[in-house]
């Protein structure tokens, strides 16, 4: 928890045959943490070679506007929903 900027720092582990994409992880974390998807930002994903385990770090903000002020531009771009998924929703 980082109370100064109203953010929780969440580490997670996913076990799947392939590395999941960030939008899937954001969606699942938002459901598990009972928050909106625009408040969840996946910072890193690391899959060890030869395993099906992905370990990651996500920042979960109390306010989506605060997230856009604090998160670097490259993290915001990485967490954009791909165009195909956006059309389906």
Encoding tokens for residue 54?
Answer: 């992905």
How many Cα atoms within 13 Å fall on the side-chain side of residue 38? 6
DSSP class of residue 71 equals S
pTM for the predicted model, two decimal places: 0.86
pLDDT, tens digit, for every residue of 2-26? 888 999 999 999 999 988 899 999 9
| CATH number belonging to the domain at 3-88, selected among 3.30.70.330, 3.30.70.270, 3.40.50.2020, 2.40.50.140 | 3.30.70.330
pLDDT, tens digit, for every residue of 25-39? 999 999 999 999 999
Nearest-Å Rg of the Cα atoms of the chain is 13
6-19 residues labelled b (16+ CB within 10 A) or e (exposed)? ebbebeeebeeeee
pLDDT, tens digit, for every residue of 28-83? 999 999 999 999 999 999 998 889 999 999 999 999 999 999 999 999 999 987 76
């Amino acid at each position: 928890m980082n109370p100064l900027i109203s953010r929780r720092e969440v580490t997670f582990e996913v076990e799947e045959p392939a590395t999941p994409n960030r939008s899937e992880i954001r969606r699942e974390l938002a459901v598990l943490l009972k928050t909106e998807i625009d408040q969840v930002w996946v910072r890193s994903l690391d899959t060890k070679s030869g395993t099906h385990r992905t370990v990651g770090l996500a920042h979960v903000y109390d306010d989506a506007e605060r997230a856009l002020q604090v998160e670097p531009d490259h993290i915001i771009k990485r967490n954009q929903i791909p165009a195909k998924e956006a059309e389906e929703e």
